[in-house]
Amino acid sequence: MSSTKASEVIEGPFQGAYGNWYLTRADVTDVQVYRAALGVVCVAQSACILLAIAQAPVPSYVYDALFVLGTGAFGVALSKIHIYMKPLHTALKFLWVAGLLGAIAILATEHALVPLVYEKPVLLLATGWQFVALTGVFIKEAFCFGRAEAIGLTALIPVLLGGHFLGILPDSLEQGGGLVFVATFLYFCWRKFTQGVKDDVGDLSVFQYLAKNANQ
């Protein structure tokens, strides 16, 4: 997309906290990419969970391929998400990188990743940081829009991940919680695609103000 086309005004002006701002084609594209990337994360994680619950006879590399797909898509989503607090945004990216490096370290010495992490929950200390970052995204979504599915996902991830790490959840509860997570995440993504683009953009005057002060 050319810079001229990217800067094309779609809507506005809107009154922001620090002045008027306009919605551009580039803003719309960023939101679309963010939502699509989250959708890929949802599909990849849901597929892993459903295959595991069904005990499908698939090779371990299928799980690992889905993990790589979801991890890559989550990185794209984090690059496009709009968060006013830059330190929080940076922290989520750092957690994503930490989880990625942990996964690479495991793959460098083992032939499988996802099945091994499931069998040895202590390895979540290497890879689980991405789920912490994902929880941060749901917290942001819950705080900004107050939607029940975002609040539910914010609670589900620590409960399921922490319970598995500590070994305190029976298999039936883990599987039931996994199914609830899949259904809730799918519903969350569906609702994101029906949401107004301007909602995900936020108040651009705040970002412009922060950028201006950072350069002074």
pLDDT in tens, 59-85: 999 999 999 999 999 999 999 998 888
Nearest CA-CA partner of 178 in 194, 198, 157: 157
**Structural domains of the chain, count:** 1
Considering the domain boundaries, does residue 143 fall inside one? yes
Which phi and psi angles does 128 have, rounded to 5°?
Answer: -70, -10
**pLDDT band with cut points at 50, 70 and 90 for residue 18:** confident
Exposed (0-12), middle (13-18) or buried (19+): which is 210, by Cβ within 10 Å?
middle
Nearest CA-CA partner of 49 in 33, 70, 74, 22: 70
Least confident of 3-12, 56-65, 183-192, 193-202: 3-12
Average pLDDT value over all residues in the chain: 91
Contacts for 43 with CB less than 8 Å, ≥ 6 apart: none
The token pair that represents 30 in the structure block? 């960023």
Q: Which residues constitute the domain of residue 173?
A: 23-214
Considering the domain boundaries, does residue 46 fall inside one? yes
Cβ pair 156, 184 in contact under 8 A: yes
Exposed (0-12), middle (13-18) or buried (19+): which is 162, by Cβ within 10 Å?
middle
Residue 71: Cβ within 10 Å count = 17
Query: Kindly report the CA angle at 214 between 209 and 216, in degrees rounded to 5?
Result: 100
Considering the domain boundaries, does residue 87 fall inside one? yes
**pLDDT band with cut points at 50, 70 and 90 for residue 216:** low
Helix axes 148-166, 171-193, angle to 10 degrees: 150
Least confident of 14-23, 26-35, 41-50, 102-111: 14-23
Considering the domain boundaries, does residue 183 fall inside one? yes
Considering the domain boundaries, does residue 14 fall inside one? no
Considering the domain boundaries, does residue 40 fall inside one? yes
Considering the domain boundaries, does residue 81 fall inside one? yes
Considering the domain boundaries, does residue 156 fall inside one? yes
The token pair that represents 33 in the structure block? 């990419």
Distance, CA of 216 to CA of 102 (rounded, Å): 37
Which phi and psi angles does 14 have, rounded to 5°?
Answer: -115, 145
